[in-house]
Homo-oligomer: A and B are copies of this chain.
């Protein structure tokens, strides 16, 4: 629970990015790695597998086994060294992985070794897991996905909040994670604000101009997005993963894990589940470009069933924890059960508040993934530009509906029906 030991300047002096050639030499001296891969680096195979934007990632295979080595880069890869990012985010990622493993055992890769100075985490190699976004584009199903994700979101949300934690522990954790300022700043700008004006790094498909113009002219929409930004930036209800989309989930056909919590922060209880649902909705709405007519409906309905199971498991698990693990200072039993009163409908009220936040965040995430800097492969891989544009219009329109009417969508069935409507609706 300590602060990062190193100040950023000291870290910059000793930090050195790994190369495949040097990696064996540098890491084979670490017992926690050698015992899992093998002691002789000459027998190792090192493959660099970029994770996209912010890090070096290597798969290191040896006679005894395989590990993942992830090292933070001091800038945003996608943009280049003109956008520096502090290395200390690896410290927070490691802390997040430790807490997630405690709160939902088995949900995240095991950490074998952490080197703060090198911003380097060595962790469990997941195989034959693939990034879930890839599987969704390819039309592959994952058994148990919704229940796994619903449980993960409920457990990390509940057990990281003052519904469960001792307040002093939670507050010292808030202080710790508040040190990770640059990372939330990315989400604050790219997710909540940039989609709604002509921000420098924005880009969007040709043909969206009119839709984007309308969206950016919508004052109520922008005010609601900013209201959610204020909640995101101020509301330290629980420790959130912070970037829980289908690219942060790895799955086989029946096993899933959550990875990459480097955007960890304290935030609203509904943040992770809202962003997650958005990414399933984008997978759903982009399917007409990836499936033949014969398979389309079945696979799309499967995606909706995952959303349904994710949300119903989230609510069931949260309610279970409310009943059995409400040991924090919030809604104490002294006020309810100890006085012979049920608090079941009060839990339902808390869940309704979480749902409202989640749906508004969901809509904002749908916007930013089509308008802001970082787009989704779900849409980006569509080569038919006209079709891509048509599907993105549906996505933007549904996002707007969610932001504007979050509080009126009282059930998952309403949400899924809304998705079916937008999937069938062409505005342009």
Minimum CB–CB distance from A89 to chain B (whole Å) comes to 14
Minimum CB–CB distance from A263 to chain B (whole Å) comes to 14
Which residues 176-204 of A sit at the B interface, judged by CB distance below 8 A?
Answer: 176, 178-179, 181-182, 184-185, 188-189, 193, 196-197, 199
| Contact status B174-A230, CB under 8 Å | no
State whether A230 and B237 are in contact (beta carbons under 8 Å apart), knowing that A178-B178, A181-B168, A334-B197 are contacts in the complex: yes
Q: State how many residues of chain A have any CB contact under 8 Å with chain B.
A: 51
Minimum CB–CB distance from A285 to chain B (whole Å) comes to 25
What secondary structure prevails in chain A residues at the interface with B?
A: helix
State whether A223 and B349 are in contact (beta carbons under 8 Å apart), knowing that A197-B338, A217-B339, A237-B230 are contacts in the complex: yes
- Give Cα A47–Cα B261 distance, bound, in whole angstroms: 57
Q: List the B side residues contacting A216 at CB < 8 Å.
A: 339
- Give Cα A355–Cα B179 distance, bound, in whole angstroms: 31
Of A30-38, A55-63, A325-333, A393-401, the segment with at least 4 beta carbons within 8 Å of chain B is A325-333
| Contact status B168-A185, CB under 8 Å | yes
Q: When the two chains form the complex, which single residue of B178, B336, B346 contacts A174, counting CB atoms closer than 8 Å?
A: B178
Q: When the two chains form the complex, which single residue of B171, B184, B227, B343 contacts A171, counting CB atoms closer than 8 Å?
A: B184
| Contact status A193-B332, CB under 8 Å | yes
- Give Cα A1–Cα B402 distance, bound, in whole angstroms: 40
| Contact status A175-B171, CB under 8 Å | no
Q: When the two chains form the complex, which single residue of B162, B181, B237 contacts A167, counting CB atoms closer than 8 Å?
A: B181
Interface string of A221-265 (1 = CB under 8 A from B): 011001101100111110000000000000000000000000000
Minimum CB–CB distance from A343 to chain B (whole Å) comes to 8
Whether A341 sits at the interface, judged by CB under 8 Å, is yes
